[in-house]
Structure 1
Amino acid sequence: MTASSARAQGRPSATDHAAIERAAFALFAEQGFDETTMEDIARAVGVGRRTLFRYFPSKNDIPWGQFDESLEYFRRQLAAVPADVPLADAVHDGVVAFNRFDDAALDQHRFRMRLILTTPALQAHSAIKYEAWRRVIAEFVAQRLSLEPDGQLPRLVGHVSLALSVAAYEQWLDEPASSLTDLLDQGLSLLRTYAGSERLRP
């Protein structure tokens, strides 16, 4: 879920996804998510409202950053896993890697996830993003097991992986000194211990 992007030629150099996120997050922290408008964010960035909408279709999309691009990277990373790697290991490692961030990005990511997980106005929009994330895992599982992505097992692995991730994020937000990737790793390992990872082997 990175915020980097190539700047479009002809647009102000200070205007990109990352700059918009920083300005929006500052406003969200100062005056609240619900009270902040797209006009407020456009003024803070120094662009017109139309320009802002070229980067983010709605205010609800801003906390998610460049999520669609991150999902494409996630899909490519899973597809590149060698066939001899057990499916349980591939999903486990893929989920942990997807949620690994540089130390310098952790504070902003923590703010991002607190917004996503605790802001009522974002919940319906978040459900759409969650479904897209689960779908990446379900498609990977289905491909490895020669199943349909909407089949019970691929769908279940997607839902369980998301539930474990959300639980890890909630704990990470409650315990600032904890390691997000460690919490994810522990949660996924616990599931495999009690559910039996051999059931997810091709």
Structure 2
Amino acid sequence: MPEDRPTLRDRNRARARAEIVAAAQTLFVEQGYAETSVEQIAEAAGVAPRTVFRHFPRKDDIVFHRHAEQVGRFAELLNEAPAATPTLDAMVDALLALLRLDDPTSDGTMLRVLDREPELQRRDAALVADHHAAVVTFLRGRGADAQRAELLAGAFMGAMSAARRLVLLQPDVPPREHLAAAVSLLRGLDWPAPSL
């Protein structure tokens, strides 16, 4: 049996985590993050509160349960970009692979929860900062000096944050169109040339 195949225990653990996250997201949308207790999440997921805490030590860990995985995957996708791929295209492709905009369940619901909750916005800022750092590292690898890498990463992350905000402000417009508008603006900047 291959070593990387998940065990029954691993699969049960992943299923329990997914059920807790799904129950929590439903409650957060229906009644608000602050108004939702861990006990309510546990009841909706059909588990004990201690099970929720075993998987998610803090309530906001439920919202950001994929933080480390997402940042790590984003950095991997950037590093895996072919050397000849234009720098901005490599960054956008990596972001699109993470966002899964074609996923029908990705309707901006959790963005609306984040937008209403200052406690979650603080943690979300840390997530954005971690992605910014990954972009800086990628740009440095493409030959940008420290100052240029920081400025370009700031422009990229700022444009992506604005596109994300537009998903909330203009929900009738598909998220991919907001992203395309942001990328169009970014194309006017002087990105490091790809390595050939």
TM-score range, shorter chain: 0.7 to 0.9
Distance 1:123 1:84 in 2: 37
1:71 and 2:71 equivalent? yes
- Segments of structure 2 that go 5 or more residues without pairing to the other structure are 1-5
Partner of 1:127: 125
Distance 2:34 2:118 in 1: 9
- Segments of structure 1 that go 5 or more residues without pairing to the other structure are 1-5
Structure 1 residues 164-196: Cα deviation after superposition (integer angstroms, max 9, x where no partner): 112111111222232212211221221222x3x
Structure 1 residues 121-158: Cα deviation after superposition (integer angstroms, max 9, x where no partner): 212211211111111111111122175xxx22222232
1:161 and 2:161 equivalent? no
Structure 1 residues 34-76: Cα deviation after superposition (integer angstroms, max 9, x where no partner): 1112222122212233322333232122223412212222111
Give the Å deviation of 1:33. Answer: 1.0
Alpha-carbon distance change, 30 to 92 in structure 1, aligned in 2, over 3 angstroms: closer
RMSD (Å), alpha carbons:
2.5
SS, match of residue 9 in structure 2: coil
SS, match of residue 139 in structure 1: helix
What percent identity do the matched residue pairs reach? Answer: 32
Distance 1:126 1:173 in 2: 16
How many pairs does the alignment contain?
189
1:201 and 2:196 equivalent? no
Partner of 1:84: 84
Alpha-carbon distance change, 140 to 91 in structure 1, aligned in 2, over 3 angstroms: same
Give the Å deviation of 1:8. Answer: 6.2
Partner of 2:186: 191
Q: Is the 8 A contact 2:142 2:192 kept in 1?
A: no
Alpha-carbon distance change, 169 to 146 in structure 1, aligned in 2, over 3 angstroms: closer
Give the Å deviation of 1:78. Answer: 1.0
Matched AA of 2:122: A
TM-score of the two chains, using structure 2 as the length reference: 0.82
Distance 2:11 2:54 in 1: 11
Q: Is the 8 A contact 2:114 2:121 kept in 1?
A: yes
